[in-house]
Structure 1
Amino acid sequence: MKKVYSVEEYIETNSHFGEALNLLRDIINTTELNESIKWNAPVYDLNGKNVVGLGAFKNHFGIWFFNGVFLKDEHKLLVNAQEKTKSLRQMRFKTVDNINKNTVLAYVKEAIENQKLGKEIKPVRNTKSVVIPEELNQILKAQSDINTCFKALTPGKQREYCSYISDAKREATKQTRIEKIIPMILNGVGLHDKYKNC
């Protein structure tokens, strides 16, 4: 899908649901939420915190509730679109006739109130411990400058380096990899940083 720069452009790009998306947009815009484009779709936030978003697909359209897990869902309209999402819920429609303005507005207002109350699921940090391979551990013990720089890296970056060494089958490959990563550790960069900044 091409990059969109405005809500109007998003609706135009999904013109098969244009009337319905405009209706949902109008309902949401009666509230205090701020409208913007994020992830190539309309998103509505309260003080920088995402509350709802609009989405259009081939056979349905709807509203994403970023912390929808906290909604009462008295009308049983919400679905968990993906197994891995803990808090995201979606209200799906097939046609504009399926939209009950008052019901949609009530759900959006409840989502706003929940945001004001601070109801949100915080992302769980990966708490796996870092298992340092013996070959790297010996260098860290022998050279304090490398050890200091390694400890300054995030646990995720430390794990990337440790896996990179551990995954090598041959001792010679492990040594070659260690030689490669030492300058990177000293520069405070992660193994895959150059790919993350693209």
Structure 2
Amino acid sequence: MNNERWTTELEQLKDIIAQTELVETVKWGAPVYTIDGKNVIGIGGFKNYFTIWFYNGVFLADPKKVLVNANEGVTKALRQWRFTSVAELDEKLILAYLKEAIANERAGKAIKAESKSKNFEIPEILQFALAEKKLTEAFLKFTPGKQYEFVEHINDAKQEKTKLSRIEKILPMIADGVGLNDKYRKN
């Protein structure tokens, strides 16, 4: 994120958002606004624009066609509204979109994440590394979701040496019962 470049612009967005009932928090190093503990929007600056992202923006009517899918084919619900200057900030229009996003959140409109962890195959290289009985037992104690995270971490590596390096790093975690992303999860 490039929030320093857009300090003034982001402050103006915050002033508009403050007119709503959204509660500001910081998640993943960026301002995120919630209602009833659920993420509704976030704001941030990037190299060429600053943005409001709507976590369930796919459900917004978007009459002015200002929303974009930042990662077509990957992002299902998230939509961004990009700006390049303060002059583009139409307070009335932004508030209308914010109010609709809040109403949608309260109505429970959301795309449920698909569980990728249900059907996956453990790659041979990881099976070989888990050949020791204690490691296999430790791995099987993880939930399918956590098992999948390890598998995905290995499969995402393009080169064999990277896969081996990643396996070296995760084997002690598996032995200790520590999931790949546990440090990011709330207890």
CA distance in 1, matches of 2:22, 2:61: 20
Please point out which of 87, 104, 110 is paired with 2:100: 110
Matches within 5 A, 1:44-63: 44-63=33-52
1:70 aligns with 2:65: no
Higher helix share: 1
Measured in 2, the distance between the counterparts of 1:108 and 1:88 equals: 14
Q: Deviations over 1:61-84 (max 9, x none)?
A: 121111100000000000111121
Query: Which gives a bigger RCO, structure 1 or 2 (Cα 8 Å, sep 6+)?
Result: 2
Q: Give 1:150 shift.
A: 5.5
Cα offset, 1:29, TM superposition = 0.6
Percent identity reads 44
Which structure would you say has the larger Rg? 1
Matched to 1:60, the amino acid is Y
Q: Report the CA distance between 1:153 and its aligned residue.
A: 2.3
Where 1:64 maps in the other structure, the secondary structure is strand
CA distance in 2, matches of 1:96, 1:132: 50
* CA drift at 1:197: 3.8
- Cα offset for 1:20? 2.4
- 1:81 corresponds in structure 2 to 70
1:94-116 deviations in Å (ceiling 9; x for gaps): 11111111101000000000000
Could you tell me how far 1:21 is from its partner in structure 2?
1.8
* Counterpart-to-counterpart distance in 1, 2:47 and 2:34: 25
Q: Is the 8 A contact 1:130 1:158 kept in 2?
A: no
Number of aligned positions between the proteins: 163
Distance in 2 separating the partners of 1:98 and 1:43: 21
Q: Distance in 2 between matches of 1:149 and 1:129?
A: 18
Taking structure 2 as the reference length, the TM-score comes to 0.69
CA distance in 1, matches of 2:48, 2:101: 25
Q: Which amino acid aligns with 1:112?
A: I
Give matches, 1:29-178, under 5 Å: 29-83=18-72, 84-126=74-116, 127-129=118-120, 151-158=140-147, 160=150
Runs of 4+ in 1 over 4 A off after TM superposition: 129-136, 145-151, 156-161, 187-190
- The runs of 5 or more residues in structure 2 that have no matched partner are 155-166
CA RMSD, Structure 1 to Structure 2 (Å)? 3.6
Q: Rate the CA distance shift 1:94–1:131 in 2: closer, same or farther, 3 A.
A: closer
- Residues of 2 paired with 1:42 and 1:36: CA distance? 6
